[in-house]
Each structure stands twice: as structure tokens, then as C-alpha cells.
């Protein structure tokens, strides 16, 4: 059994990670670290786990676990690793944005590989440290990677994406308060979102002159999921676009190209990304959908763990959406 440690287990991503790992046939959760809830049952923070585990949060860290997941706020993973030296055999999977960019990928002699399996599967399998991609970054990259790989992402790309309130984290804020969020939609960080850095690095790694990404993120009045609509010029037919995407993702465990228009319900509570293509005159519309807490965070982190330990990629991740 793979002994797992979780740092920062009281948030949304920590909770989803615990849920997956408790039902993973090859893992044993060794500890769940929390400075604010040490000694309390994990189910006090995650009531959906009541009756499924007697685990308690701890304020102590086992530095010799097989793998540790860092579910900390952005900037805190660097601080934590500087203060805690895990054994050389411990694999590290970080869910913050601390190590996603190449210029930030090395800390204390450890090099982090960008953990998007559809792009870096071979490197992930050989790595001991993974920088898990951002949620918006995952959905947008999966929508655009096939075009960049084909060297045809030549024009400006307009991206509009809406995310559920869980994307803002468990700590309450003015824009996650029910009275504000319910029956409401708004944009934020127009054209400057922090995930653009990792998106551009991946796309330009495939196509150096890839077109500019004009990204407008939106807050949705629902709890989980991301729906991306991206459009750009495309000279081919819709059939050629579909073949391009199906060829690119033919070996992808969790990314599917749909024949019919897609919606959030079909991917929420799964590690899937569904993609749909629609051609209008000279414009290709690419729609992608993921669960921001699973394929956009904890599910993808476990997918990366599976690859690192030579397990089946879908181990513990055969989850079904509730579409009704």
C-alpha cells in the first residue's frame, strides 16, 4: 500500500482528495495535517465522510511517507517545503501555483514537472515532484492543445469560462456569500488571470508563435464545474477538426471528444474532460467542461500519483456523474 500524507486537508481540494484516496485500492492515508483542526475528526470538516473514516487531523508530519499532497494556498507550499524536509524517496504533488512555471520549478534541489497528463505523461511517470495544473488552465489547455500541436493556433483566441463557487476556496468572501452568488453572474480578473502563465507556457512549448489568449473568467451561480467556450479562426472543416482532436486524445484516459454539445452535469463528480467542436464560417468554437475540484485539482493529482507509481491511470477515479 502507498502511504499518503495530506497537508492542508480541511479545504475543498483536501476533502475531495481524502474521499478519492479512501476508496483507492492501493493507498493508505497516513496523516491529514491541519494547523487549525489538529485532534478533530476529519468528518467535522467534511461531513460527507461521516461513517467512512475515523481519521483525525494532526499537527504532526511524517516526513517519510511514500507521497505527500500539498493542498495549501498559493505561496504557502514554498514556505512549507522550506520548513519541512521530506525524505528523498517521498514523492511530492503540489496543488498550488507555486511550481507550475518553469522559472519556479526547482526548490531545494527538487524539480517539479508540470502535471498535465495529456501533455506530459512520460515525464510525469519518471518524476518525483509534480506541479498540479490550475483548474481553468486544465480546461483551457485541453481545449487548445491539439491545435497548437498541429501548429495551426495562429490567431488570437477568445476564451470565456465560467466556474462554480468552490473554485474560490473554502474561506468565505463577499463573492462566495450565498446572498450575493445566488441568481448572479459576474466576471473577474479580465485578461489577467494568473493561470494564463502556465497556459501560455504549454501552448508555446508546442507552437512557439501560438496566438494570444484573451481570457475572460466568470463566476457562476453554482458550486462546481467549469465550462469553457473558446473560438478562433480555423481553415479546415468541422470534420477535420474533430479528427484532429480525436487523434490527439486517442490514448487519453479522461479526455473525450463528444459528437453532441456538452454540459456541466455530464462531468461534475468525475475526472473527465469533455470537448465539443462546432464550425461557423471560418471560426471554430471549442467547448470544454471539467469538474474544477476533480480534473481541475484533486482528481488530476491522484491521476498523476497513479502515473508516478506505475498504477493504472484510472485507479480510484472511475467516478460517474449524476446527470438527472
Cα(50)–Cα(47) distance, rounded to whole angstroms?
Answer: 5
71 as an active site residue: the answer is no
How far is Cα 304 from Cα 127, in angstroms, rounded to an integer?
A: 10
Directed axis angle between helix 135-149 and helix 238-248, to 10°? 110
| Domain-located, residue 314 | no
Same domain, 201 and 236: yes
**Is residue 150 domain-shared with residue 285, that is, in the same domain?**
yes
pLDDT of residue 23: 94
User: Measuring CA to CA, how many Å separate 305 from each of 34, 102, 129, 135?
Assistant: 22, 21, 10, 17
Cell of 78: 514554498
Give the whole-angstrom CA distance, residue 174 versus residue 162: 18
Query: Given this model, what pLDDT does residue 137 score?
Result: 97
Residue 59 placed within a domain: yes
Q: Can you tell me whether residue 118 is helix, strand or coil?
A: helix
CATH of the domain at 189: 3.30.360.10
- The verdict on 112 and 169 lying in the same domain is no
Report strand pairing: 113-114 vs 110-111.
Answer: unpaired
- One pLDDT digit (tens) per residue for the chain, 324 residues: 999 999 998 899 999 999 999 999 999 999 999 988 999 999 999 999 999 999 999 999 999 999 999 999 888 999 999 999 999 999 999 999 999 999 999 999 999 999 999 999 999 999 999 999 999 999 999 999 999 999 999 999 999 999 999 887 777 777 877 888 889 999 999 999 999 999 999 999 999 999 999 999 999 999 999 999 999 999 999 999 999 999 999 999 999 999 999 999 999 999 999 999 999 999 999 999 999 999 999 999 999 999 999 999 999 999 999 888
The grid cell for 55 is 481519521
Same domain, yes or no, for 183 and 282?
A: yes
Question: Is position 313 within any domain?
Answer: no
CATH of the domain at 125: 3.40.50.720
Q: Which three cell numbers stand for residue 210?
A: 501560438
In a domain, 320, yes or no: no
- Name the 3-class secondary structure at 286: strand
Supply angle C-alpha 122, 124, 130, rounded to 5.
Answer: 165
Q: With respect to residue 193, please indicate whether it lies within any of the assigned structural domains.
A: yes
Q: In the chain, which ranges are continuous DSSP H helix?
A: 12-22, 42-45, 76-83, 117-126, 135-149, 178-181, 196-206, 238-248, 298-308
| 126 and 229 together in one domain | no
Report the residue count for the chain. 324
Full domain range(s) for residue 48: 2-132+297-308
Would residue 315 count as lying in a domain? Answer: no
Q: Residues 263, 139: one domain?
A: yes
Cell of 262: 456538452
Query: Is 103 found in the same domain as 157?
Result: no
Residue 51's Cβ-count burial label (10 Å; 0-12, 13-18, 19+) is: exposed
Asked if residue 145 and residue 58 are part of one domain, the reply reads no
Task: Tell me, yes or no, whether 323 lies in a domain.
Answer: no
Same domain, 145 and 275: yes
Among all chains, which residue has been given the C-alpha cell 514556505?
A: 79
| Same domain for 143 and 276 | yes
C-alpha cell at 290: 471539467
> What total of structural domains would you count in the chain?
2
**Residue 131 host element (H or E):** strand 129-131
Residues 72 and 200 in one domain: no
Residue 276's closest CA among 250, 297, 256, 295? Answer: 256
Asked, for residue 318, whether it belongs to a domain, the answer is no
Do 279 and 163 share a structural domain? yes
Amino acid at each position: 500500500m502507498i502511504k499518503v500524507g495530506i497537508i492542508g486537508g480541511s479545504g475543498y481540494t483536501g476533502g475531495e482528495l481524502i474521499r478519492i484516496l479512501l476508496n483507492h485500492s492501493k493507498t493508505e492515508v497516513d496523516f491529514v495535517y491541519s494547523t487549525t483542526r489538529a485532534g478533530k475528526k476529519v468528518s467535522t470538516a467534511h461531513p460527507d465522510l461521516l461513517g467512512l473514516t475515523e481519521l483525525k487531523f494532526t499537527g504532526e508530519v511524517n516526513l517519510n511517507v511514500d507521497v505527500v499532497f500539498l493542498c495549501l494556498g498559493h505561496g504557502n507550499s514554498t514556505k512549507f517545503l522550506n520548513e519541512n524536509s521530506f525524505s528523498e524517496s517521498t514523492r511530492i504533488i503540489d496543488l498550488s501555483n507555486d511550481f507550475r512555471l518553469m522559472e519556479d520549478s526547482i526548490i531545494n534541489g527538487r524539480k517539479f514537472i508540470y502535471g498535465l497528463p495529456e501533455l506530459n505523461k512520460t515525464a510525469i511517470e519518471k518524476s518525483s515532484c509534480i506541479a498540479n495544473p490550475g483548474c481553468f488552465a486544465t480546461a483551457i489547455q485541453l481545449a487548445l492543445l491539439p491545435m497548437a500541436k498541429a501548429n495551426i493556433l495562429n490567431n488570437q483566441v477568445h476564451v470565456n469560462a465560467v466556474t462554480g463557487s468552490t473554485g474560490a476556496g473554502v474561506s468565505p468572501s463577499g463573492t462566495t456569500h450565498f446572498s450575493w452568488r445566488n441568481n448572479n453572474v459576474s466576471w473577474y480578473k479580465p485578461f489577467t488571470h494568473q493561470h494564463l502563465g502556465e497556459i501560455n507556457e504549454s501552448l508555446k512549448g508546442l507552437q512557439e508563435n501560438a496566438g494570444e489568449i484573451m481570457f475572460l473568467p466568470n463566476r457562476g451561480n453554482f458550486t462546481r464545474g467549469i465550462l469553457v467556450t473558446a473560438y478562433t479562426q480555423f481553415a479546415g472543416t468541422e470534420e477535420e477538426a474533430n479528427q484532429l482532436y480525436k487523434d490527439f486524445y486517442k490514448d487519453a484516459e479522461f479526455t473525450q471528444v463528444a459528437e453532441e454539445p456538452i454540459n456541466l452535469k455530464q462531468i461534475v463528480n468525475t475526472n473527465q474532460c469533455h470537448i465539443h467542436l462546432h464550425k461557423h464560417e471560418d471560426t471554430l468554437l471549442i467547448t470544454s467542461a471539467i469538474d474544477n475540484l476533480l480534473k481541475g485539482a484533486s482528481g488530476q493529482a491522484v491521476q498523476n500519483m497513479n502515473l508516478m507509481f506505475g498504477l493504472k491511470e484510472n485507479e480510484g477515479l472511475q467516478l460517474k456523474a449524476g446527470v438527472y
